[in-house]
Structure 1
């Protein structure tokens, strides 16, 4: 359900947005609906035509059966009269064949008529007349066979047989006329249904041709728009590539200037710093000499120097000198770190295929003595190979593993795990997982900044390690992200292109 709703929203937005593709899809949908309607109408008309044809066939069978009954009655009467006139048996055979066939034909006619309210009464009257006529025929034939021809002729001359035959002829003719009328109506309806079917199909074909023409026109217009957009995109891309090239060159020059500036500033700062450190040593020596003189003066002339001066020489001056020395030492460390970053930014990258498992194992072995001392362990799983700069990769993983060892959680044995896998799109991902102090959420970005540190400051350092790591990762075209909770350890997610792409000077400076 969660996947269906976004899809429905996207489809709704597509329907609400007037675009050429939507018009084409609408026309295609209309054509499909029209085809479905035509198919449905054609199916209905075919069913009706089939029903009409069945009715026509049924009417034809009824008419044929009625004619067969009348023909057999005439044959039976003809055979009867021939036998009475000639007494020859062959005439009687014609009568007997007709009489034998009549029951089946009448039964067939009765089955065909079924419950037809208009024809059933007529067929019933035919049945009654038929029985009486057959009985009259049998009587005249029987009289003829016994030589009582006079009586047989008298029965015929009475006209009763003719009356019965005329009555049956009238009823059967009426049945035939009713079916003939129905046949005409059904034929007309069938022709109408066929005409409607043809008209609907012709109209649908015309509409489909119109829709096809409109669709072809829209598709042609759509293709022309796509081609125009493609040419425009090529033009924009060409301009964009030139802009990117120019901007890259500008950034490269700016980066080089920043690096040179950092180097010059750092180098120039060291000269006065060295002087300060030298004069600090001289001040320290002067303070010692003054202290010695004060000591001698106290021995020779007690009370000649006030206590405030003695405290200033023996306490305040050494404290100030130590403060200056500590500050200059820290400043010297920062300047050296800036110089190191500057030199690293100017160093050219040398891509090579790196056996990452062995490389990280070697880094882990360099800190194994510190880890083993506190009962910890470093686990390096099978890592995918990477084509990149060896020195940068060693410094990245070295810094991360050193940090994991340095910032362990007190009272908890160190556990460091390094694993990784290949990612889709030509990327390789690695993870450095530790169970150390962790980093609070508000400091996740802070720890990657220059000279910024988070948490308790009980370990030596200038706050440059992770800044250097991120700078190096970016130079290699990768990314680094931190997943951590305070007191729960940290996981550094590293992602690199499987093959280092060299785009001129890739230094990011400071």
Structure 2
């Protein structure tokens, strides 16, 4: 009887632990999953943000390149227009200070044409740019030739060149080419602007969606965490109750043993008295 009674509290305690341990283990595993989910959500937010950034950056770089190409084409037209106007002023007045735009065009035109050819190389506009470059060089050469003939006093020659409309045709061809390139670049710039907007919108929606998802995950995690704490508190209460029960059991067993010891002592004393 005594060994059975002594083992019973320990068996009850193990039974309580067996009931609680699977739940606690499951809660711990779910907490690990929640932490993993939070890390995955953070990585997803960073991934979406980086994808949106690189998409927008690429579109902006392309847009910047197109702005530069458009500026070069407009610069080409500006240089030739100013040079043509300067030539006319020189022919009317004979003053060399009118020729500054011609000298500026002679200086800047090669670089402008080189950049334009590089920008449109291997594209459908390559032939148009090559033709515009050729006509621009011919126009500048025609302007310089007229000025040279004027300085030489060869009036019939330079007047014949001016009245032949050859220079006007070349200038008009350059203007038409620049107008086509300008329209093309404006369309492409608008497309790149839309690409930037789409990339930023994608990033915004992605970040907002993942943030909301993370908040939902946080709420679930907090609820699970609260449930885990409640289970721990319940576990602590059960352990306290088990400890109190064991204390009572020990006290009862101790009292029984004490009573038994007294009984045995009384029996021995009675036997001694009887023998005496």
Report the TM-score when normalising by structure 2.
0.81
Q: Which structure's residues are more often strand, by fraction?
A: 1
| Structure 1 unmatched runs, 5+ | 1-13, 268-510
Q: Is the 8 A contact 2:41 2:210 kept in 1?
A: yes
User: How big is the shift at 1:75?
Assistant: 1.1
Q: Is contact 1:76–1:99 with CA below 8 Å preserved after alignment?
A: no
Specify which structure has the higher proportion of helix.
2
- The residue aligned with 1:155 is 161
What aligned pairs does 1:430-509 form with structure 2 within 5 A after superposition? none
TM-score normalised by structure 1 residue count: 0.45
**Which runs of 5 or more structure 2 residues have no equivalent in the other structure?**
1-20
Question: Which residue of 70, 79, 88 maps to 2:77?
Answer: 70
Greater RCO structure (CA 8 Å; 6+ sep)? 2
1:182-201 correspondence to structure 2 within 5 Å? 182-201=188-207
1:176 is aligned to 182
Which residue of the partner structure matches residue 29 of structure 1?
A: 36
Cα distance change on mapping 1:221 and 1:153 into 2, 3 Å: same
User: Is 1:245 aligned to residue 251 of structure 2?
Assistant: yes
For residue 126 of structure 1, report the CA deviation from its aligned partner. 1.6
1:147 is displaced (CA, Å) by 1.4
Q: CA deviation at 1:225?
A: 2.4
1:101 counterpart = 2:108: yes
- Per-residue deviation at 1:261? 9.3
Distance 2:241 2:45 in 1: 48
Report the CA distance between 1:253 and its aligned residue.
5.9
Q: Corresponding residue for 2:139? A: 133
Partner SS, residue 172 of structure 1: helix
The CA deviation at 1:257 is 7.5
Structure 1 residues 255 and 64: CA distance shift in structure 2, 3 A:
farther
Deviations 1:113-157 (A, max 9, x none): 063412322221122112221221122111111112232121111
- Sort the Cα spacing of 1:231 and 1:77 in 2 relative to 1 into closer, same or farther, 3 A: same
Please tell me whether Structure 1 or Structure 2 has the larger radius of gyration of its CA atoms: 1
Between 154-163 and 245-254, the greater mean CA deviation after superposition:
245-254
Q: What's the CA shift for 1:59?
A: 0.9
- Aligned counterparts of 1:174 and 1:246: Cα–Cα separation in 2: 106
**Paired position in structure 2 for 1:124:** 130
Match of 2:96 among 89, 105, 114: 89
- Distance in 1 (CA, whole Å) between partners of 2:267 and 2:54 is 93
Query: Counterpart in 1 of 2:14?
Result: none
Match 2:224 to one of 218, 222, 239: 218
Kept in 1, the 8 Å contact 2:24–2:231? The answer is no
SS of aligned partner of 1:147: coil
The Cα shift of 1:250 comes to 3.7
Contact 2:120/2:129 (8 A) holds in 1? no
CA RMSD of superposed structures (Å):
3.0
Aligned residues between the structures? 253
